[in-house]
Amino acid sequence: MKSEKYLIVNADDYGRTPGVSRGIRKAHRDGVVTSTTALMNMPGIEEELHTALREAPDLGLGVHLVLTSGSPLLAPSAVDSITGGRKNFPVLEDLIRDLHAIDPEQAAAEWEAQIRRFISVAGRNPDHLDSHHHVSYFSEPLFEQFLKLAQRYASAIRIPLPCPSGHCDGLPREFCPAAQDFVPRLTVKYGAKKPDWFIGTFYDEQATREQLASIIDRLPSGISEIMCHPGYADPPLLEGSAYNKPREREIEILTTDSIRQMVAKHGIKLIDFASLE
């Protein structure tokens, strides 16, 4: 696989709202999206997963492990180092501020509950694991717990680096130096299945046809993952997420004929995480 070009186009946030789930299925059915990861603590996620299994049987399905949105699946006392005893998970800025206080084993227990819920609904293990806001890569202890879960459930993982851009796409800048050390070291230690490259630059103002075309034109050899966030901006998304209307633009771009033609022209093979060796 290394001398050829393979591409996973993964849509984050499946189950965030019905409109997001519908948009991801559209971007898979009519576009280049090959994979998605589900937020298993969202209302209605069981129905959305059943719909994906029925309407999009070729769509790769993983779990988008979360500590920064919605409520935990475990009892508040089991995740008090994360929530501070509150009902909901902290917002990203608060989690970063209090990162030093998080018990990695509590995070792992909550993540495992999310994985177990996926299995109970889908009837199979997730083909890969990643994390909402990339929180599983914020510290070495969290990343090690993340890798242990991937190993336990025979799931591939998203890696936040290396990136063709030369930067840590999506990771807060202050976490990059440490991640550049522990991510490759622990990934080798646990023998995690993973792509060779992560591309997180198709997002927000950079979520344009020109940007996606440039990524495809410059795609390195080996296996790459492009992270994307297609979705329809329904009322729950407009009320609960700052990243809403741009998701509809992502659907339009990801389903454009010219993008599919570019993928074919470059001989790029579209795959999902289940295809990783």
CA angle 115, 116, 122 (to 5 degrees): 85
Q: State the burial class of residue 277 (Cβ atoms within 10 Å of its Cβ: 0-12, 13-18, 19+).
A: exposed
> Average pLDDT, stretch 33-48?
98
Please give the DSSP secondary-structure letter assigned to residue 85: T
- Reply yes or no on whether the pLDDT at 1 is more than 60: no
For 147-157, the pLDDT digits (tens) are 999 999 999 99
Q: What is the pLDDT of residues 200-238, one digit of tens each?
A: 999 999 999 999 999 999 999 999 999 999 999 999 999
Residue 37, beta-bridge partner list: 62
232-256: per-residue pLDDT in tens?
999 999 998 999 999 999 999 999 9
pLDDT at 3: 63
Quick check: 198 pLDDT over 80? yes
User: Can you give the pLDDT at residue 275?
Assistant: 95
Please state which of the ranges 45-49, 175-179, 269-273 shows the lowest mean pLDDT: 175-179
Cα dihedral 173/174/175/177 (nearest 10) = 90
Furthest CA-CA distance within the chain: 54
Q: Is the pLDDT of residue 68 over 60?
A: yes
3-class state of residue 143 by DSSP? helix
**Which helix (H) or strand (E) is 63 found in, with range?**
strand 60-65
pLDDT at 2: 53
| Region 192-198 average pLDDT | 96
Q: Which residue has the tokens 């495809």?
A: 216
Structure confidence at residue 165 (pLDDT): 81
Which long-range CB contacts under 8 A does 203-212 form with residues at least 24 apart? 203/170, 203/227, 203/228, 203/229, 204/243, 204/246, 207/246, 207/249, 207/250, 207/253, 208/253, 209/253, 209/256, 209/258, 209/259, 212/253, 212/254, 212/259
Instruction: Measure the CA dihedral 141/74/193/165, to 10°.
Output: -70
Mean pLDDT of 185-202: 96
Closest among 54, 56, 43 to 11, alpha carbons compared: 56
pLDDT greater than 70 at residue 141: yes
For domain 5-275, give the CATH number. 3.20.20.370
Where along the chain do its domains lie?
5-275
Mean residue pLDDT of the chain comes to: 96
| CA gap 94, 112 in Å, rounded | 22
In 3D space, the residue among 26, 29, 48 whose CA is nearest the CA of residue 37 turns out to be: 48
Q: What pLDDT is attached to residue 167?
A: 78
The predicted pLDDT at position 154 comes to 97
Core vs surface per residue 234-255: b (16+ CB within 10 A) or e: bebbeeebebbebbeebbebbb
- pLDDT by residue (tens digit) across 106-134? 999 999 999 999 999 999 999 999 999 99
